[in-house]
Structure 1
Amino acid sequence: MQARKMEKMIVKPEDKAAPAGRARFAGAVGPLLGIAFIFLAGAKLNEPTRFADSFQAWGLDPGLIPWTGAVEFLVGLGIFFHGTRTVAASVLVPWMAGAAAIHVWTGDSALAVLPLTVALVAAGVAVSGFRAGRHRVLSMPAPLRNPPATVMGAAGFLVPLVGVSFLLRWAVGGTVFWASLPVLALMHAHTVGASSRRERVEMVLLYLLVLGMGTAGLWSFVGHYFMSDQVAGSIGWATGSPFQHELAFYHLGMGVVALLCIWFRDRYWIAAAVTPALFAMGAGVVHLQDFISRGNTAPANWGASVLIGNLVIPVGVLGLLAWYSRLGGWKLETMAGEGIARL
């Protein structure tokens, strides 16, 4: 029953699809252009010093680099999503035309070709969107859609979903990524007309479980398995321990379980949330003890992002689970209670 109700809340691709043919160009080019700008923005946000010399050569203050990255991130994200693609592409046209003008002004006319080309492509995306959408060119984005039921279809659905989530998480950091999920969920709920409090809480939980805990599990798997020494060094612990590979597979399992929340509902969500939440809180206590006993202030052992990730987020998810239960989302009968009732 709950699964059928949530299927109505998840936006199907055809629900927001533009007329065939008119939006073909925007649909093909838009996501790729958006991903490219999210990647470019992430480079500026994570390594601004790499662009300092270029900004100085253009007569611009290097302090503008993070702000430029933030604008490009928002524009790239807007172009990636169908509902905001037309407006975001319209913003990108003068942005890239301005970049081309700066190159010409500073004597690098050859370098102006690339931003000018991007401006023309963005103009094509915007015009295509306006023609296809007529008067409706802006709607709320809905990242989570009804997934396919087949194995190959599910893989084709999850790979780009996880890949783009990884890119976004890398670009803006884990804390901002997590904070954006309730916003996206509430916009999605508004798009599909979810008016009741229970439906809105359910949508927020879905986003936190699938895009939050699911992505976090796979992100941690990649870190602990493929970058073990770097992760250990960032925590301030000894490197070379094979225990990290064991920990990596735990995160992989929990990540997959959380991603499956989009297919499985009801009390499955409790199991998918409680285990990683308890692990995260336990890890947060260990980091706190290490800070108190050894004064370990390594970036991944102490700081606002560690406290938020290991304490605030899991407590918040568990609180939402309890709130959803009080709103009638499910009944928390225990197996023992059900067994006693049958005696």
Structure 2
Amino acid sequence: MEVEEHIHVLVDPPPSTAISSREQELLDRIALLEKSLSKSTHVFDVVIKPKRVKTFKWTVNIEHATLEGLKNFIRGTCPTPALENDGAVLNILNDEGKYLPMNDQDLRELLQVFVSKKNLKFTVTVETPSKAFSDWTFPKVCQLYGLDGESEEPTMAAFPLFSCGNVKPSQESMEGLMAELKSRIENTPINLLSIEATKSLYVYSYLLAGANNFKGKFEIRPQKVISGPNGHGPLDFAIDLRRTAKTVGVTEVKKDDFTKGVAQCAVQFESSLSNRKRKANEIEEEQAFERVFGIVTDAEKSYFMECTMDDQERPSFKLSEPAVVVYNNVSVENMVREVLSHIVWLLEEAQKPDSDSRS
């Protein structure tokens, strides 16, 4: 009997190439990330502090990004005076943390990290080193606050005109001021007004007479030290409102350089208002005060100034025409009265909440 032989061939199926949906999702994400990283140009959502909630679109090739380029973007979208301060630095904040890029390479690496984490939104804060008020020059201040326009050599005409009002001073304060000035002229001759310390003596007499129209409401503080985002140092004279203990008036005594005096006063204004903003929660009604006044004077010629700050903490300034006193003139009393009436008006305005003073 023949025996049938059977050959059995076992065939294994090829290995399955199917992958799970989770694996596919990961592969897709990797591919998307590789594609994103290979692309150099990205659109970032940038928020610029302080008090900016709106985002701005910044399109940049991160391989060629520079700090100056980011600063120019900020200048173009929402001008920030602090950028014009020498040594201004950019603090960058997002969900990953806070960063301080010190050079272009730092910035490029940081942007690359944001792209790799698919987090293209960040906040920029401009921080500036504060310098002494006396170090500021007029051209630099005009540049800082955007007052120079296209001029390379700005003049005081860069400041909008301030129409300083006047209020008739009390007879007592006027008579007291004239008696004090007469005594000073007799004992500290007018020709010594070339000395700044002598000028300060005369200026204090005017400030005291002005404050005497509001008994107990103001303090005159020589050499009060304040600091702000762009400057620090002593004020020649600060006028503080007693009920808030905050500076509402700034007086800069100059021997001759009025443009430098105006420059210093402008930075002092910003410092005074910035301090109020920072401490506004301490005294609830302080939030309504957004103005500060100042005088730049050599005791013979006086400029009056006003500074206001908007809700974005940007200061704006106005500067008056000068009021002049000629002490050996027969009409000196009328000249003195004009200066004093301006000071009294400023002190009256300084007591009003911002909404009242602008109505």
TM range, smaller chain: under 0.3
Structure (1 or 2) with the larger CA radius of gyration? 2
Structure (1/2) with the larger strand percentage:
2
Structure (1/2) with the larger helix percentage:
1
Give me the TM-score of the superposition, normalised by structure 1.
0.24
Give me the TM-score of the superposition, normalised by structure 2.
0.23
